[in-house]
Amino acid sequence: MRVSWDAYFMNIAREVSARATCDRKHVGCVIVRDKTILATGYNGSVRGLPHCDEVGHMMEDGHCVRTIHAEINAIVQAARHGTAIDGGTLFVTASPCWPCFRTIANSGIRRIVFGEFYRDERVFEVAGALGIELSELAPDASGVPR
């Protein structure tokens, strides 16, 4: 049986997360428009600097701040390559944190599909106010997005 487009892109986001370099949480992101992948990102250190898996975590207030989150890396990748993401859909393996959500909203993304809830409920209320669709696509018992 063929998976839905949402499950297809979420599966790709899960694969992208395998590149993440902070073992506290592996997150992957795929930005899509018109069933075409525009950019991908995973959580990792600033380009050219060592990664958590090489030198350890940089902790502040219980969070590792060495890494740039997957969503931001995907948006930056699109910007570096001159790829417009306005009106696109962002697939991410964990719901965006508040700082990432604000950046996503300003980027013109109109839909966010996430694999698991992560930490910040503000995104739901603000997404509704902004007209950004926010959907959970959690895996079933076999680990496949439903």
Q: What positions carry a catalytic annotation?
A: 71
**Rg of the Cα trace of the chain?**
15
Q: What distance in Å separates the CA atoms of residue 110 and residue 96, rounded to the nearest whole number?
A: 14
Q: What distance in Å separates the CA atoms of residue 13 and residue 21, rounded to the nearest whole number?
A: 15
Q: What distance in Å separates the CA atoms of residue 144 and residue 10, rounded to the nearest whole number?
A: 9
Closest listed residue to residue 69, CA positions, set 130, 27, 102, 108:
27
Q: What distance in Å separates the CA atoms of residue 141 and residue 138, rounded to the nearest whole number?
A: 10
